[in-house]
Amino acid sequence: MHTVKLYGRFLIVYMRSQLEYRFSFFGDVFVNMLTFVSLYLGFWVLFQTFPSMDGWGFWEVLFLNNLNLMTYATCSMFLWGPMIQLENTVRTGEFDNFLVRPYPPLLILVFRQFGHTFIGHLIVSSCVLALCTYQLSIQWTVGNALFLLFCLIGGILIQGAIMIAAASSAFWVIRSKAVLEMSIYTVRSFINYPISIYVQSIQLLLTFLIPYAIVNYYPASLFFGKEERSALFYFFPVISVAVGALLFLLACKIFSRGVARYDSSGS
Amino acid sequence: MSAIRVRNLSKSFKRPIRTSGLRGAIQDLLHRRYEEKKAVDDLSFDIPQGEIVGYLGPNGAGKSTSIKMLVGILVPTSGDVTINGLVPYRNRAATARGIGVVFGQRSQLWWDIPVSETFQLMKYMYKIPDNRYKRNIELFADVLGIQEFMHVAVRQLSLGQRMRADLCAALLHNPSIVFLDEPTIGLDVVVKKKIREFLLEVNAEYKTTILLTTHDMQDVEKLCSRIILINNGTKAFDGPLERMKTEFGAGETLSVQVEGAVENWDGLRLLGVGDYRYDPESSTLTVRYDKRESNPAQLLSWIMGRASVVDFTVKPPEVEDIIRAMYTNPARPVLQEVL
């Protein structure tokens, strides 16, 4: 509880320092909104030529994408900044500061900054979810709502775990930023489309090795009944959260392993 | 129980050996060889609560590496450290509550926010009770003179102001042990003095144990009752400052700028001077002498009798000089164990 309160304090201080440059603050949010609106417009253009992608219509693919964006943005608000900078923090020895605090270093890293730009992502993805609801006439029954909620939580954990694990490579290799960027941009871009369009090896990779498919493909296909709505529909959200939690713990473990290897820098 | 207990502490780093040239680069890529560099080698000492210890040694001697092991930043290769009875790298959070850390070269303040807000964050992070926080701020701000820049963003502070704020932030939670790595580096005389007064006051008020590294002999003389000297990763001396000075540190340097061509200064030898050098270019005579054997006034008057003196300075020994003296004068004992 104290930790949550402490985070609140950090957040207030961070926001106050950011709002000093008010134009830049809202500018950041707005630019990010534009980026994703244009990405989705691109999909729309694409779907004017191919009305269906392996059985998925435009709004369904948009919903699929949106699961990715929502979970990515939520975990990025906390993790993207500190993880993308970890390479630098470790290389310069600035990481020293995080090891002499009465909280775990990962927590202090997260506390020190907040990705306000991802508020833009969240605004866009909320609007798109509302649009999809309308276009696909999704009924938000208790079952549907809980399904989505749990899958979102699982997705956030998986995205976060991949981010932390990839960034932790900073303790082993020098160019960890490249590893992280490859994981969260290149590999993640595969799940912009239903993974059933790829060869089997890529499907397996995205299911078991870097399980991005659990973030959006499986929940979306269950949600739209691409497969028969069976017991799996009720069971999957639990799997998603469990896999997410497990991976997240594993990622934290990798991070701690890395910390034990940390060499600091001269001086 | 000792505040700091160090036993047979060692740390080695693995560094790739690089071969020069393109061929070497390709060779290294295929078959990388590592050399092991021992930064700290079998170090042991105890520091009781309330002592101020000067942790000295030349650059690269292993001071920073050992301090980083003491505070939990680095994991030792072998050996044991306990800080207030805790193993720092295993209980980072618990250890951190009882220690304060200041690295002179690296600020832990938050760049974009005012000093006062950083202090507030420290208050919440270390769960400092209101009344204690208020009392500490009053005491510290007064001695360090922080009030004048309390509400200025850290990035706008001068080096001296930043250092004072850093010190204050590190001590707000009343740590029982404080680690200071070159706290006065690059600061002017006035700020240095303030910082020394502050440390003495904190030590007197709270019985705080202080371990500090410095290259400034003034820091050592004003603050430290005990010296631990590190060289090549091992302990070279451990004992009271006075003993170090009488054993190794009585050397002073006298620089005299003279007019008129005098070439023969050999007479200085008769006055007990071991080492002197005359530089005709700047017509400066540099004399190194042992204070116990030669008297600077006598030396100067002898020189004045032979040439007209334009200017002169007397330089007290730097920590480096003492260390150099230890290693270049084999007649004196090098290793002194007090444990």
- pLDDT mean over B282-289: 84
Q: Is B113 on the interface with A (CB under 8 A)?
A: yes
Q: Is B135 inside a domain boundary?
A: yes
Sign of the torsion formed by the C-alpha atoms of A159, A162, A163 and A164? positive
Helix (H), strand (E) at residue B238:
strand B234-240
Question: Which band of pLDDT confidence, cut at 50, 70 and 90, is reported for residue A211?
Answer: very high
- Please tell me the total count of domains within chain B: 2
Locate the domains of chain A by residue range: 21-261
pLDDT: which is higher, B301 or B262: B301
**How far is it, in rounded angstroms, from Cα B218 to Cα B189?**
10
With CB atoms and an 8 Å threshold, state whether A17 touches B89.
no
Residues in a beta bridge with B220: none
Which residue stretches of chain B are H helix? 21-30, 63-70, 92-98, 115-125, 130-144, 159-171, 189-206, 217-223, 241-248, 296-304, 319-328
| Rounded CA Rg of chain B | 24
Question: Which band of pLDDT confidence, cut at 50, 70 and 90, is reported for residue A227?
Answer: low
Of B13, B73, B125, the CB nearest to A102: B125
User: In sequence order, which residues have a C-beta less than 8 Å from that of residue B301 and are 6 or more positions away?
Assistant: none
Q: Is B323 inside a domain boundary?
A: no
Residue of A nearest to B213 (CA): A267
Q: Is B339 inside a domain boundary?
A: no
Residues B291 and B217 reside in one and the same domain: no
pLDDT at B307 over 90: no
Residues in a beta bridge with B34: B16
Percent of chain B with pLDDT over 90: 43
Residues B231 and B261 reside in one and the same domain: no
Q: What is the pLDDT of residue A174?
A: 77
pLDDT at A255 over 90: yes
Q: Which of B180-194, B247-261, B279-293 has the lowest mean pLDDT?
A: B247-261
Q: Is B332 inside a domain boundary?
A: no
Q: Is B223 inside a domain boundary?
A: yes
Min Cα distance B301 → chain A (Å) is 44
pLDDT digits (tens, 9 = 90+) for A22-61: 888 889 899 989 988 998 899 899 889 888 888 899 999 9
By residue range, what is the domain housing residue B203?
A: 4-246
For residue B313, give the CATH number of its domain.
3.30.70.100
Residues B261 and B240 reside in one and the same domain: no
Q: What is the pLDDT of residue B258?
A: 85
Quote the ipTM score.
Answer: 0.84
Question: Which band of pLDDT confidence, cut at 50, 70 and 90, is reported for residue A267?
Answer: very low
With CB atoms and an 8 Å threshold, state whether A9 touches B105.
no
Of A6, A97, A104, the CB nearest to B93: A104
Q: Is B14 inside a domain boundary?
A: yes
With CB atoms and an 8 Å threshold, state whether B99 touches A100.
yes
Residues B276 and B225 reside in one and the same domain: no
Structural domain ending residue among the three candidates B195, B226, B246: B246
pLDDT at A83 over 50: yes
Residues B203 and B279 reside in one and the same domain: no
Q: Which residues of A touch B96 (CB under 8 A)?
A: 100-102
pLDDT digits (tens, 9 = 90+) for B43-91: 999 999 999 999 998 888 899 999 999 999 999 999 999 999 999 999 9
For residue B122, give the CATH number of its domain.
3.40.50.300
Q: Is B331 inside a domain boundary?
A: no
